Amino acid sequence: MTNYIGLTLFNPQGEKIEIVSYLEQFNMYQAKQTNAKGITTTPLLSESDILDLIERQDAIKHSMNLVEEWKYQEEKELQQAEQDFKEGKKIDNESFLKLLDKYNIKTPSRTRGWIINSLRQIDKDHCSYTGNLSKNVFKLADQLYEKIS
């Protein structure tokens, strides 16, 4: 029997699992698992469970790296959109919404829907859209411009 105590693994959701003890009477290992919300649980794992996790570590690590790359790319794109808006350039509707959320600018749900469905691009003073113009969109653009300037 291999001793897995002290081994740190990750489950498919990317949560850290640390093997902390062996319960001989159950022939199981006790683990400490902490999720993204900081909640710690203590699952029991068999040796085959641990071996399965070890085998899947490469795939899990690869997935975690892809998620981290995606988050980094998203943050970089959001920073670029913020800079463009600050410089008076137009940004797309998705970036506009993300910036409103980032700066905690309250957006009425109806206006939010209009931004998603009708707004194409916006800068501080102009926008391109389909359908009828939302009355709130330029108020939101002004609030955003004040926050980022």
pLDDT digits (tens, 9 = 90+) for 10-35: 887 778 899 999 998 889 999 999 88
Q: What is the pLDDT of residue 149?
A: 86
The residue with tokens 């004040």 is 146
From CA 139, how far away is CA 134, in angstroms rounded?
10
The residue with tokens 């509707």 is 93
Q: What is the pLDDT of residue 64?
A: 82
Q: What is the pLDDT of residue 118?
A: 96
The whole-model pTM stands at 0.63
Q: What is the pLDDT of residue 16?
A: 87
Task: From residue 31, give the alpha-carbon distance in Å to each of 3, 40, 63, 76, 110.
Answer: 13, 10, 22, 37, 47
- Tell me the residue ranges of DSSP E strands in 14-149: 16-23, 28-34, 40-41, 44-45, 91-92, 119-122, 127-129
Question: Cβ neighbours of residue 136 under 8 Å, at least 6 residues apart?
Answer: 107, 108, 111
Pick from 123, 112, 119: nearest CA to 82: 123
Q: Show me where the domains of the chain are located.
A: 8-64, 88-148
The low-confidence residues of the chain, meaning pLDDT below 70, are: 1
